Homo-oligomer: A and B are copies of this chain.
C-alpha cells in the first residue's frame, strides 16, 4: 500500500516513532492511566483519568466525609473549592486570578453568563447574536436567556459574525472551536469587533481550553464558560466554570443568586448582597466529590505550557491528516476541519458515508473516536497523553476498514 505521495506505511510508522521520541510532552502520558492496546482519540468528549485522582477521592470519601464529617465544611478545603479550582484553571485560559469560578454544568453557567451579559448590555439593544452551528445546548439556553431578558436571538455563521454586529447587538455568544468540525474561530478579532460595536461577548471554551491558548484577559473578553471534562480531564460530568472579567464583576447581576454567591453566606440574611469577585457566580453547595476529582486531575498540568501543547496538537493533527491521505483510499473521507493552522482546533473531523458504522468498527479495533450526526467521524487529539504512533495507528486502522 502506498499513498498518492508515494509514502509507504513503514515510513509513516518510523516517522511516528521518531516524532514520539523527540516529543518533550511525551512523558506526560505517565500522568494518566489509559487502558492497554487502545488509541484514545475521544479526550475531547471525556478526558482520560489522571493518576492521583482515585487516591484523592478515596481520601475525600473515607477521611474528609466519613471521619471529619461536617468539620470538613468549616475547617477543610471544601468551601473555597469553586474559586480555588477556578484559579487553577485560570492560567490555561489566560485569565488572571479571581475571575474564574467552578461549579454547575456548562449549560447553567451559560445561562448565568448570557443573562448577566444582557444586564450589562447597553440599554435599548435587542439582539443576541448566537453561533448558528453551536453545540445545541448553547442555542437552547440562549433562547431561554433571550426570552427572559427581552432580547431576540439571531443565529449567525461565525464567519459572518463581525459583519452582523451593529448598534442593536446587545450580546454575542460564540464558540472558540466548533464541536463538530473542529474549526477554530478568531477570538481576538471577533472580540475586538464586538467591542467596537458596543456588544458584550460570551465565549464558550469547551473545545479549546486545554488544547490551545485562549487569552481571555489579553483579548478583552467579557464573559466565558467552559466544561472541564474534555481537555481538562476532570471526569464524567465534572463541574464547569464561569469567567467574569474583573471590570464587570461589580455590575454582574446573576439570574441564579444562590446563597453561595452571597457576600456573607452564613449570616443567612433575607436580603441578597452579592460577594465581591467571581465568587458571585457561585450558586448552591458545590458537589465536592466531582469538584475535588477535577482539582486532582488538574495536577497533570503542573509545569506544562499551553503553547507547547498547541504546538504538539497541530503537529499531531497535521500528521494524522497526512497518514489519512496515505492510508485511506481517495474519495472515501473528506476532512471538514480547516487545513490552516489558525483555523484548526485540536480535532480532525472526517465526513464519510455510514459514519456511525465506521466508528463502531474503529472502536472494535481499539481506536476510539466518536460519531457526530449525521456523517462525521470525530478524532480528538489531546497532547498530554496522545502521541504520534497513536495518530498513525488510527489512520492505518481507518485505511483497513476502507481497504
Which A residues have a C-beta under 8 Å from some C-beta of B?
A: 33-35, 38, 40, 42, 45-46, 48-49, 53-54, 57-58, 61-62, 64-67, 69-73, 78, 104-108, 111, 115, 132, 135-137, 139-141, 143-144, 148-149, 155, 227, 229, 235-240, 254-260, 262, 265-270, 272, 283-291, 293, 363, 368, 370, 372-373
Contact = CB atoms under 8 A, between A and B. Distances in A.
A168 to B, nearest CB: 22
Contacts of A254: 144
A349 to B, nearest CB: 14
A134 B361 CA distance: 56
A32 B235 CA distance: 27
Contacts of A265: 136
B239 A105 contact: no
Contacts of A227: 285
B107 A108 contact: no
Given A144-B256, A236-B73, A258-B137, A373 B284 contact: no
Nearest to A270: B139
Contacts of A148: 115, 148-149, 255
Contacts of A69: 35, 38, 40, 42, 46, 48, 368
A61 B53 contact: yes
Contacts of A34: 66
Given A104-B108, A105-B104, A107-B259, A288 B136 contact: no
A243 to B, nearest CB: 17
A49 B70 CA distance: 11
Contacts of A266: 373
Contact of A283 (B67, B108, B255, B259): B108
Contacts of A73: 45-46, 236
11 contacts: A38-B69, A48-B69, A49-B65, A54-B62, A70-B370, A78-B237, A107-B259, A136-B262, A140-B257, A236-B285, A237-B288
A368 B61 CA distance: 19
Given A256-B141, A257-B144, A293 B61 contact: yes
B46 A66 contact: no
A277 B289 CA distance: 28
A42 B239 CA distance: 26
B107 A283 contact: yes
Contact of A290 (B240, B258, B287): B287
Nearest to A373: B268
Nearest to A65: B49
Contact of A143 (B257, B286, B287): B257
Contacts of A48: 66, 69
A259 to B, nearest CB: 4
Given A53-B61, A73-B236, A255-B148, A272 B140 contact: yes
Nearest to A155: B270
B289 A293 contact: yes
Given A283-B108, A287-B287, A270 B136 contact: yes
